[in-house]
Amino acid sequence: MKNREKRPESISIAPLRVDVHSHLLPALDEGSKNVEESLELILELRNLGFQKLILTPHIMAGFYPNSPNKIQQRLLILREYLEERNIDIEIEAAAEYYLDAFFMKELLSKNDLLTFDSEDGKKYLLFETQHLHEPKHIFEAIKRIVRKGYTPVLAHPERYNYLQRDRLLVHQLYETGLLFQVNINSFSGYYGNAARELAEYLSVAQMVSFLGTDCHKQEQIEMLQKTMASPMYATVLRAGDILNNRV
Ligand SMILES: [Fe+2]
């Protein structure tokens, strides 16, 4: 006990037990194509230490017309496939919503949204936006999401050009109560230098609430293995209040 008190720096960092962003439900978006590929990628993520995966297919009008019903059905199929093979990992489903007029008018107003939930009852709503320009009415959208009782989580803020060039906007968004989910692979430059720089900035500023693999395919697993073994990744885990293990 004495030793532990004297050496706080030796307290080990809790590894990520939960991933909150991936495209491993088969054949719903541009991620995994079939259950066999899902199984392979899920085994790789389990080897990286994940015990629970929140699978988040895209929902985007005109491109990925996935519904909660369809996603839940696909989850049951994949769960059964894993259970038959005695794969010991927990899988749940939410979604990565694309923020547009369809989302606001059709999905949010009907309240039929998939979320991942915290132990204390928070409903985290993961959404993405267009990459180049600040989405019109994003502040109003966040307000409405919050008013509906959800906690909005922006998927990979570091990857959007409009945030890479505007740190003030990053802070203004964060101050609304919006949480940021940063992709683990951003820290090794997988999405480019500007994304890496913003990911590091967010980590140092303690503005990273969730980390995600955003895993679609094998190539990203190889990068995750490298990133998660790096000293820089240990620094990221230490830097802020990462909520992954509380969902
Ligand atoms: Fe994604």
3-state secondary structure of 117: strand
- The upper half-sphere exposure of residue 220, i.e. CA atoms within 13 Å in the direction of its Cβ, equals 22
Q: How far is the CA of 73 from the centre of ligand 1 (A)?
A: 20
pLDDT in tens, 111-167: 889 999 998 999 999 999 999 999 999 999 999 999 999 999 999 999 999 999 999
Instruction: Say which residue, 112 or 74, is predicted with more confidence.
Output: 74
Q: Which domains does the chain have, with CATH numbers?
A: 14-246 (3.20.20.140)
Residue 11 Cα to ligand 1 middle (Å): 32
CA distance 53 to 14: 17
Q: Quote the percentage of the chain above a pLDDT of 90.
A: 90
Q: If you measure from the C-alpha of residue 8 to the centroid of ligand 1, how many angstroms do you get, rounded to a whole number?
A: 36
CA pair distance 185, 179, nearest whole angstrom: 18
Q: Cβ of 39: how many Cβ atoms within 10 Å?
A: 18
Q: Report the separation in Å between the CA atom of 59 and the middle of ligand 1, taken as the mean of its atom positions.
A: 10
Whole-model pTM?
A: 0.94
Ligand 1: centre distance to CA 119 (Å): 23
Residue 11 has pLDDT above 50, yes or no: no
Separation of alpha carbons 27 and 33, rounded Å: 5
Question: Does residue 153 sit in helix, strand or coil?
Answer: strand
- Three-class secondary structure of residue 195 per DSSP: helix
> What does the alpha-carbon distance between residue 92 and residue 185 come to, in Å, rounded to a whole number?
22
207: amino acid identity, one letter: M
User: Is the alpha carbon torsion for 208, 40, 118, 163 positive or negative?
Assistant: positive
Q: pLDDT per residue over 166-195, tens digit each?
A: 999 999 999 999 999 999 999 999 999 999
Distance 33 CA to ligand 1 centre (A): 15
40/38 Cα distance (integer angstroms)? 6
Ligand 1 centroid to 31 CA: how many Å?
9
Mean predicted lDDT score pLDDT of the chain: 94
* Res 65 pLDDT > 60: yes
18, containing H or E segment = strand 18-19
**Mean pLDDT score, 84-109:** 96
| Nearest CA-CA partner of 51 in 90, 99, 84 | 90
Whether the CB-CB separation of 242 and 115 falls below 8 Å is answered with no
- Summarize pLDDT for 37-62 with one digit per residue, the tens: 999 999 999 999 999 999 999 999 99
| pLDDT confidence of residue 13 | 62
